[in-house]
Structure 1
Amino acid sequence: MLPDRKDIKDLFEGLLGRDVDITEGRPVDIGIPKPVIASYVDDAQRLRAVAVMSFGLAARSGAALALVPRGAAEAAEEDRLLPDNLFDNAYEICNVLAAPFGDAMGTHLRLSEAYAPSSPVPSHLLSVASQLAAREDVDLEITGYGKGTLSLVVSV
């Protein structure tokens, strides 16, 4: 019910136009700096999945998508403030993640919402993001930009 690692790798490489290494990761920390959290719903508007993108992955992939220098992502991490342009790019990556999620689950999913690190996140989404079952946690290393973590969680 979860996208396989090859699909995740292919999605990031296709969007970013860069090589991406994918390895086993740990669940994204929901503490500080806060991650980007995205929710996915089916056609009946039921919550089906959540993606949690570490602050570092959001900054790095957001920068890589727009060909912004790596220093912008590093500055965002240092300041613990994700600029709007990097969040907008991370949001778009979350939007595209709906397809492999839906394919793996055998249903049409769409991005319902993505929450910036500075935005409050509904408690039910935090609960799903923290569950231990039905999840895939991976580290992604984007060539020229560095590493971040992605957690994909199916709502059970």
Structure 2
Amino acid sequence: MQRLILTLCLYLSTGYALAQPLTTVPQVDLNRYAGQWYEIARLPNVFQRKCVANVMATYTLREDGDIDVLNQCENKDGKIQSAQGLARSTNPPENSRLEVSFFNVLGIRPFWGDYWVIALDDDYQYVVVGEPDRDYAWLLSRTPTLPDETVAKAIAILEAEEFPVDQLIYTVQKPRD
């Protein structure tokens, strides 16, 4: 029995040792980060399963320092779906680790998800976002497309941070009627 417990402890400690901490950028200026972002790619997730094109996020800085979030996408029927949420920094003043909630019950937000900035263009033209468990990741841009070399650079960052880049979904951004 002691051998089983020791083996289990070694296995668990090795598993935790393999998961490297997620690296974030040193600083995010939330005023510069605010605005509209186009999704270039994402890891599949349940809350975007109906999104087939034109995925965008709009971040609006509030007076209290939090951020209003509006996510929009087009579904297979061409209809626009949207979700409104709230984001807040968990590491001010660096602001590279945010958490987001899209669930609100009578003004209470019991569920928050990590939204960590792991790469950010100096001019705030593209950003790579993920979370410590590597289950979610997004590549966002101020424009509907990015040069191939920029996308490759972002994918290399995700790969270096041990995200499953072979599962990325590339977003179709098409003109709206």
Q: TM-score range by the shorter chain?
A: under 0.3
| Pair member with larger Rg | 2
TM-score (norm 1): 0.26
Higher RCO (CA < 8 A, seq sep 6+) = 1
